[in-house]
Amino acid sequence: MRRFLGVAAALVLLVAAGCGRARPTVRPNPSASTFPLTIIDDTGRSVLIPHKPQRIVSVTLGTDEILLGGLVPRARVVGVTKYAADPNESWVSGRVGHIAQLSTASAEQILALKPDLVFVASYTTPGVVAQLEGSGVPVIEFTTFSSVADIQSHILTMGRAVGNLAGAQAMVAKMNAQLAAVAAKVKSLPPARLLYYTSDGYVFGKGTTPDQLVRDAGGVNVADAAGITSWKQVTLGTVAALKPDWLLTGTTQPGFAAKLLRNPVLAAVPAVAGRHVLALPDRDLTVVSQYFSQAVQVVAADLHPSAFGH
């Protein structure tokens, strides 16, 4: 249950579509900074925000990162997930400071922070959302985490809700610029055949965020190429049969990458034979915020060091 509240926001992207790269057109909305403000969230509900929120609570890691990544001053955030403070999980761990860290999506914990706006996700217990709404707290729920376009849509919605649409638009523009820069560097390079394999034996195929991450970084996801959709648990034999040139794994279980390198079953796999096993912090692999584009840069630079001046 360790990741339920926060990292789940990122992991839900594992069922992300990821194939579309359409970027939302960002249009200034003059009414965005005028409170009271009504937002239609992903569930179709009208959420009335009576005044510019000063006590914001976030119960997903993705929204933690968007808020603390520069959308609002830290003083306006009163609650984030406990994962926000974990440098392995979060891009904003250094900015959490004394903000309350929520262990679970408990309405009681959230209400005790006296929030005037709460960001939740579709996997937040429905009853908890109803409880918060019943107590008169505006709750904005995000339900789709399917693509970069979804991430950017969330950023813009949050920007409107907190009264900083311009900041949200700048965040989206920066993402697009970073992604475009990576795309320009890797487009003429031979794609690296890569497999993301977790310490608990899962690979990620078509329709997942890691799939998009790999493709945006100039790689080919061999799980996708083998017809694997979503995320599936596979044996080491399958990993060997997929013959990736690169193996990508997280750092949740220290030493896992070294274990892969030592495993005789994988000895003939090009990634292991060539010692191309990348162990990256989970924040790079499960990110669902504006930092996605930075994660793409990190992976691309590892796959194509010469193109990035390394």
Partner 1 sequence: MSPVPLPRAAQGLRGRAASPAVVLPLLTAVLVLAVWLGTSLGSAPLPLSQSFAAVIGQPAPALVRDIVWELRLPRVIVAGAVGTGLAVVGCVLQGLFRNPMADPGVLGVSAGAGLGAVIAIYAGLGAVSLWTLPGIAFAGALLTALSVYALATRGGRTPVLTLLLAGIAVGSLLTSGIGLVMILGGETQVQTMLLWLMGGFGGETWQQVGIAVPLVLAGSAACFLFARELNILATGEEAARGVGVPVEWTKRILLALCALVTAVGVSVSGTIGFVGLMVPHMLRLVVGPDHRRLLPACAIGGAAFLILADLGARLVIRPAEISVGVITSFLGVPFFLYLLRRQRAGLGG
Among positions 19, 112, 177, 268, the unique one binding partner 1 when judged by CB under 8 A: 112
Contact between 55 and partner 1 per CB under 8 A: no
Residues 248 and 223: their CA atoms lie apart, in Å, by: 12
Torsion of CA 75, 77, 83, 85, to 10 degrees: 0
Contact between 203 and partner 1 per CB under 8 A: no
With H, G, I as helix, E, B as strand and everything else as coil, classify residue 227. coil
| Segment contacting partner 1 by CB under 8 A, of 23-31, 130-138, 165-173, 211-219 | 130-138
Contact between 127 and partner 1 per CB under 8 A: yes
Q: State the minimum distance, in angstroms, from the CB of residue 112 to partner 1.
A: 4
Label residues 245-257 b or e (16+ Cβ within 10 Å = b).
bbbbbbbbeeebb
| Segment contacting partner 1 by CB under 8 A, of 125-133, 165-173, 175-183, 239-247 | 125-133
Among positions 19, 75, 130, 268, the unique one binding partner 1 when judged by CB under 8 A: 130
Residues 261 and 269: their CA atoms lie apart, in Å, by: 10
Q: State the minimum distance, in angstroms, from the CB of residue 161 to partner 1.
A: 19
Burial class for 70, CB neighbours closer than 10 Å (0-12, 13-18, 19+): middle
Contact between 96 and partner 1 per CB under 8 A: no
Residues 139 and 141: their CA atoms lie apart, in Å, by: 6
DSSP state of 55: S
Site for partner 1 in 210-239 (CB under 8 A): 230-231, 233
Nearer to partner 1 by Cβ, of 62 and 163: the residue is: 62
Size of the site for partner 1 (CB under 8 A): 34
* Residue 114 C-beta-side C-alpha neighbours within 13 Å: 2
Sign of torsion, CA 6 82 113 92? negative
Contact between 143 and partner 1 per CB under 8 A: yes
**Which residues here bind partner 1, judged by CB under 8 A?**
1, 3-4, 8, 11-12, 14-15, 43, 103-104, 106-109, 111-112, 114, 122-123, 125-128, 130-131, 134-135, 141, 143, 202, 230-231, 233
